Amino acid sequence: MKSTPPLAIRSWRRFVAIAGLLIVALVAMIGCSSDSNDEPTKAAEPTTRVIETEKGSVTVPASAERIVVLSGGLAGYLYALDAPVVATDTRVLGVTNLDGGFPPAWADAAKAQGTKELPAGEQLNIEAVAAAEPDLIIGGGQGITSVQSEELYDQLTAIAPTVLVPKTVAAWDKQLEIVADAAGRSDQVPALMSAYEDKVKEVKGKIKVPEGNVVYFLSVSSNKPYLVPPTAALPAMLAELGFKADDVMAKAGNPQLFGSGDSFEVSPELLSQVADAPVAFVIPVSGRPMAELATDPLYSQLPSFKAGTTFELPASSYRPDYDGAMATLDLIGQTFA
């Protein structure tokens, strides 16, 4: 019969066994900890970016969340990009003015976001801009709102990073790129441009462009004759469809362009010489519609009016944003199909 080990020996063996298990567990834990420490730590996403503007380098949010827009002509881009607009100017030439109210093209998007209207006036309401607590301000572009934002640029930058679209940038696609870059939405531009290019191909394939060069009339409230140069946004866009803008600048003796560089005044005495192209577009921007111009002897004797090859486009076609460009293509497709 085997003798039972003394109690002290049994306790010692039990202690050694337990200690061994603890050592194995500790080694395993150290190994796991070492493996996890070998993994690279994921870098935090940057919260800001630096972009280049005419005013120099500007540090903007990586993805802005509270944008204030100082020009109604630029706001449409931000809604097309699904960017958050907390407040915006609502003035779009020939569409909305000092009476307030969102332009129809992006009214639903503005209301859905809860966007506030900035007060419209001869001076930019800097207090209203500050009250919106923006993390990014976008302004510039064309018209009086561009002048206002330029004048108060230093005060605006004290509120939030401010990016101004140069007034020399008239093409809507270039404006879109600048606005998207500022708002951190550049990744959405290719899809928008692809849809536009598809629309151009579709419209170009189904329309018949009238023969001859085209002159563009801008109908303004003063009733003075204004023409649109070939370099402006609308003639440049329709050139993609085959409409060739007449060289009205050369015919007029290369006059000084008005304001943002997309129109010029012609004296009534010279209009018959400068605007003698066989085809014309009329864009009323607070001026008389085409039907009224057709009863004015100054216009009624022009070749395009006499031949019935004058066509009217809405004011939103004159300085189109993305939605305006798409809508203009649709209208051209319907008119010349």
Residue 64 DSSP SS3: coil
Q: Which residues pair with 57 in a beta bridge?
A: 52
Q: What is the pLDDT of residue 261?
A: 82
Q: What is the pLDDT of residue 143?
A: 83
Q: What is the mean pLDDT of residues 191-219?
A: 98
Q: What is the mean pLDDT of residues 300-313?
A: 98
Cβ of 47: how many Cβ atoms within 10 Å? 8
pLDDT at 1 over 80: no
Model confidence, pTM? 0.83
Instruction: Identify the DSSP state of 62.
Output: S
Of residues 18 and 239, more confidence is placed in: 239
pLDDT at 8 over 70: no
Q: What is the pLDDT of residue 98?
A: 61
pLDDT at 235 over 70: yes
Domains and CATH numbers, the chain: 48-190 (3.40.50.1980), 206-335 (3.40.50.1980)
pLDDT band of residue 121 (cuts 50, 70, 90) is: confident
Q: What is the mean pLDDT of residues 217-227?
A: 96
pLDDT band of residue 35 (cuts 50, 70, 90) is: very low
pLDDT band of residue 40 (cuts 50, 70, 90) is: low
pLDDT at 55 over 50: yes
Contact 298, 169 (CB under 8 A): no
Q: What is the mean pLDDT of residues 34-53?
A: 70
Residue 284 DSSP SS3: strand
pLDDT band of residue 14 (cuts 50, 70, 90) is: low
Q: What is the pLDDT of residue 123?
A: 87
pLDDT band of residue 42 (cuts 50, 70, 90) is: low
Would you tell me the crossing angle of helices 172-183 and 189-206 to the nearest 10 degrees? 160
Q: What is the pLDDT of residues 241-292, one digit of tens each?
A: 999 999 999 999 999 998 778 999 999 999 999 999 999 999 999 899 999 9
Q: What is the pLDDT of residues 126-144, one digit of tens each?
A: 999 999 999 999 999 988 8
Vertex 335: Cα angle to 330 and 337 (nearest 5): 90
User: Tokens representing 23?
Assistant: 């050592």
d(CA 337, CA 331): 10
Q: What is the pLDDT of residue 197?
A: 98
Contacts by residues 230-236 (CB-CB < 8 Å, ≥ 24 positions apart)? 231/170, 231/261, 231/262, 232/170, 232/261, 232/262, 232/263, 233/170, 233/171, 233/172, 233/262, 233/318, 233/319, 233/320, 234/281, 234/283, 234/313, 234/317, 234/318, 234/319, 234/320, 234/328, 236/171
What backbone torsions phi and psi does residue 265 show, to the nearest 5 degrees?
A: -85, 145
